Structure 1
């Protein structure tokens, strides 16, 4: 019964994702449709998704349909520009339609992005009212330096406060375009300058290289720039495995770990690295339990049943506990509607700049299509705040959709506007055969990009999906209890 409910829940989530995606496309195309009606244009079809219709119905001379290629949608307006390459030809039309003015074309083309923007603004109002989880990690202090990574080679140390990246002041560690992580990802050039403030040493400029996880094959994405640092953060005990080293040592859920063997603990990653440095040895931990400071003893032992946190990886020493996020991580914030829209627009501008810069490591492979977007929305539905995060995603997606469609490329709304402006300047329509050739070429380019991005979306767990555990592998760690007892007793 539980398995059936899980399947039904998954199907329900997928249907919600499809519905959400179609609402976004429908609103955009509705803008074109209503503007075309207002300006008196001939409307042949109103279709969500491209390709041959799998469902269609004609009402008042307009064919409404659902296409077979799950991407985008269109309103067939033969008076705008030759679009047969993507919308198909209408063989039933017997006589040519009267031309329309360039102003009509501009209004109808602009209406789609306008409606996307209005939908983004409406979603932003919802987020403003109900709030969303705080994304910004406010600390700028380094809480872990990965051994062997560029930051370690450059001399970055625990406790360093990063003030600027490549001369640009940063605010927070991650979660905004001005944060340390995003500034590194979108950095340009062969090196990255970090301005740090080090206790006892003042301000220092450290120049580091960067690392990119390369794809294992052409179907997957390369990673983004990273230098190997993590933010400082509280280490709060989550679940404690019964009978494990942490349980035997007296750790409880909610304990805040301050130090280990006299060394300050800067973050969860730092704590894990410390316990793995000294396997099978007694470890003295100082923790805060409420307002009381306690001294506890534990040790890290390799599970005797081959359990590994990362499926397929070599088992490592562990103490049998998970960690919980600090209360600030689930704090709700209420950003204003215009702030949300402006931030989304800035993110789109930064992405376009990175895509077009030869000094950036961001390329077309890092873009997402319908499959990637669907993955993001599916993960959002599994969070504790599905409504607010869905609305927040709508803000970002619709602003990006509006800006993308306003780019001056053929087929896009911006292309129609550009051609209408050229027509107004020339005082006569553009050459139809030339337009057909240009439109067809760009359609082919878009379809190629669609296939390329969809392949990357399909075969890459972009955004950090957890790998599936081998069901034949141990589902929980077990330890040699005799060895554990003897270590704890100091024998």
Structure 2
């Protein structure tokens, strides 16, 4: 419990520091341009605590949904940020250049921070699933509705050993890109009832081949999936990836990321061994030995039959590690890859053929949970996700939406074009309306975030359960869709 709280605290600090970096960019630019900055806030709403220095109220506010620097000479958020219209009226106007520079510098600082993190990642390297060679092709998968359907890739003709080269004519540099390209795909057959479609280019025994694949939707997230997985490291022990609530494994103290070593002292050499041993000895308590934080722990677990089923189970999903390698992407390439991921997601979000919806996005709850998971995996993975988040913050904040930095730039540009300032009341009302929309958006995505977190830590169990090794569950890992099994 203490270690979990520590990782959550690290995640909260990492997110808060990213927000601080963003607002610091605005603050420094404003001061350099001679603007008044009367408030520097992490969070919105009522002030919790802080201090005053050189005319600025540095504060921590109640709602941890971002942050802001109050600049009365810009298109200020007025009553939302606690400012007064009269304050802005008494101050001298500023130039268009001042407004644009101050507004954009938050995103610039996020990109600089992401660049610094990418330099670190370039130097030390990061372990990822680099290879795009197919290790497993499912003949059947379980879709989001719980039905067992033919594996899309298998039906199309893709086989283990094929090396994926392209997705819809775009080069595939690694397995993570492949996953994102499938999930955010917008391909669809012509016609109102057209099936989802993706063109997959592979290399088989030196020969280039093209396959048209029709993805299925899987998991409660209803994301596109074609039923293939990368090569696995067959010498590694299986790893627990998910636990079912109210089942023996979680009750015995098994945890996600535990490495399964032995059953009753016998080494686990394959998934088949684990399943066979359970089938033969499911009527008694079994000593399950796992490796956790470098130490071996033995947990006695009594399998039992879940209501509506016929065979005893432990109640956890496991997976074998994929083949990984250390990569040293140069910083510019890494930032480009982050930006491309954001572009693919935003494009899918607005495209009518996509299966990506607002509910699939993450708010503060999901971001903190993701950072927590990365912190648990390792410091390098935490830095990678923090760099990704900062690039996303930069791009998102530059969207021309009132309340965001891009909205301030939009107001300033409109004023420049029409040759006169926009009425303060109009800007306050527009920003107030969009602030309400933003809060509603955060509440909406947070509702789904809570469900995702609950499923991830085993408090909620509403995923269709796979029943055999030929039926992989839904994607469950960060870098690659996990081919997980249910003993």
TMscore range, shorter length:
0.7 to 0.9
2:172 aligns with 171
Residue 377 of structure 1: how far off its partner (Å): 0.9
With normalisation by structure 1, the TM-score equals 0.73
Alpha-carbon contact 1:410-1:442 (below 8 Å) kept: yes
Matched, 1:109 2:103: yes
Pairing partner for 2:52 from 34, 58, 61: 58
2:82 aligns with 88
Residue 149 of structure 1: how far off its partner (Å): 3.6
Q: Deviations over 1:249-299 (max 9, x none)?
A: xxx57x6x7xxxxxxxxxx6xx68xx96xx6xxxxxxxxxxxxxxxxxx89
Matched, 1:37 2:31: yes
Alpha-carbon distance change, 152 to 398 in structure 1, aligned in 2, over 3 angstroms: closer
Task: Tell me the secondary structure at the aligned position of residue 460 of structure 1.
Answer: helix
2:424 aligns with 432
Q: Hey, what's the Cα distance between the residues in 2 that align with 1:152 and 1:304?
A: 38
Alpha-carbon distance change, 315 to 438 in structure 1, aligned in 2, over 3 angstroms: same
Q: How many residues align?
A: 407
Alpha-carbon contact 1:44-1:61 (below 8 Å) kept: yes
Alpha-carbon distance change, 308 to 115 in structure 1, aligned in 2, over 3 angstroms: farther
2:217 aligns with 212
Q: Hey, what's the Cα distance between the residues in 1 that align with 2:198 and 2:404?
A: 39
Matched, 1:455 2:422: no
Q: Hey, what's the Cα distance between the residues in 1 that align with 2:176 and 2:49?
A: 42
Alpha-carbon contact 1:193-1:205 (below 8 Å) kept: no
Indicate the structure with greater strand content: 2
Matched, 1:325 2:312: no
1:303 aligns with 282
1:228 aligns with 227
Matched, 1:144 2:128: no
Alpha-carbon contact 2:197-2:213 (below 8 Å) kept: yes
Residue 80 of structure 1: how far off its partner (Å): 0.3
Q: Hey, what's the Cα distance between the residues in 2 that align with 1:14 and 1:159?
A: 39
Residue 433 of structure 1: how far off its partner (Å): 2.6
Pairing partner for 1:24 from 18, 25, 39: 18
Q: Hey, what's the Cα distance between the residues in 1 that align with 2:230 and 2:130?
A: 12
User: How do 1:280-319 and structure 2 match up within 5 A?
Assistant: 301=280, 303-305=282-284, 307=303, 315=311
RMSD: 3.6
Residue 184 of structure 1: how far off its partner (Å): 1.8
Alpha-carbon contact 1:53-1:67 (below 8 Å) kept: yes
Q: Hey, what's the Cα distance between the residues in 2 that align with 1:311 and 1:58?
A: 61
2:181 aligns with 183
Alpha-carbon distance change, 10 to 313 in structure 1, aligned in 2, over 3 angstroms: farther
Alpha-carbon distance change, 460 to 40 in structure 1, aligned in 2, over 3 angstroms: same
Task: Tell me the secondary structure at the aligned position of residue 46 of structure 2.
Answer: coil
Residue 122 of structure 1: how far off its partner (Å): 0.8
Q: Hey, what's the Cα distance between the residues in 1 that align with 2:9 and 2:130?
A: 31
Pairing partner for 1:465 from 448, 456, 463: 456
Alpha-carbon contact 1:50-1:69 (below 8 Å) kept: yes
Task: Tell me the secondary structure at the aligned position of residue 41 of structure 1.
Answer: coil
Q: Hey, what's the Cα distance between the residues in 1 that align with 2:389 and 2:444?
A: 20
Matched, 1:404 2:396: yes
Alpha-carbon distance change, 429 to 172 in structure 1, aligned in 2, over 3 angstroms: closer
Q: Deviations over 1:122-143 (max 9, x none)?
A: 1111111222222434313544
Pairing partner for 2:368 from 363, 374, 395: 374
Task: Tell me the secondary structure at the aligned position of residue 34 of structure 2.
Answer: coil
Alpha-carbon contact 1:52-1:68 (below 8 Å) kept: yes
Q: Hey, what's the Cα distance between the residues in 2 that align with 1:454 and 1:461?
A: 10
Residue 173 of structure 1: how far off its partner (Å): 6.8
Q: Hey, what's the Cα distance between the residues in 2 that align with 1:100 and 1:143?
A: 62
Q: Hey, what's the Cα distance between the residues in 2 that align with 1:316 and 1:158?
A: 33
Task: Tell me the secondary structure at the aligned position of residue 430 of structure 1.
Answer: coil
Q: Hey, what's the Cα distance between the residues in 2 that align with 1:95 and 1:322?
A: 63
Q: Hey, what's the Cα distance between the residues in 1 that align with 2:415 and 2:16?
A: 33
Pairing partner for 1:420 from 405, 412, 429: 412
Pairing partner for 2:197 from 192, 195, 202: 192
1:479 aligns with none
Task: Tell me the secondary structure at the aligned position of residue 453 of structure 2.
Answer: coil
Alpha-carbon contact 2:114-2:386 (below 8 Å) kept: yes
Q: Hey, what's the Cα distance between the residues in 2 that align with 1:301 and 1:35?
A: 69
2:433 aligns with 441
Residue 361 of structure 1: how far off its partner (Å): 0.5
Alpha-carbon contact 2:72-2:88 (below 8 Å) kept: no
2:356 aligns with 362
Pairing partner for 2:336 from 331, 334, 342: 342
Name stretches of at least 5 consecutive residues in structure 1 with no aligned partner: 1-6, 216-221, 258-267, 280-297, 471-491
Q: Deviations over 1:331-377 (max 9, x none)?
A: 32221111111111111111111111011001111111111110011
Task: Tell me the secondary structure at the aligned position of residue 134 of structure 2.
Answer: coil
2:246 aligns with none
Alpha-carbon contact 1:150-1:209 (below 8 Å) kept: no
Task: Tell me the secondary structure at the aligned position of residue 182 of structure 2.
Answer: helix
Residue 164 of structure 1: how far off its partner (Å): 6.1
Task: Tell me the secondary structure at the aligned position of residue 361 of structure 1.
Answer: coil
1:122 aligns with 116
Q: Hey, what's the Cα distance between the residues in 1 that align with 2:349 and 2:201?
A: 28
Task: Tell me the secondary structure at the aligned position of residue 125 of structure 1.
Answer: helix
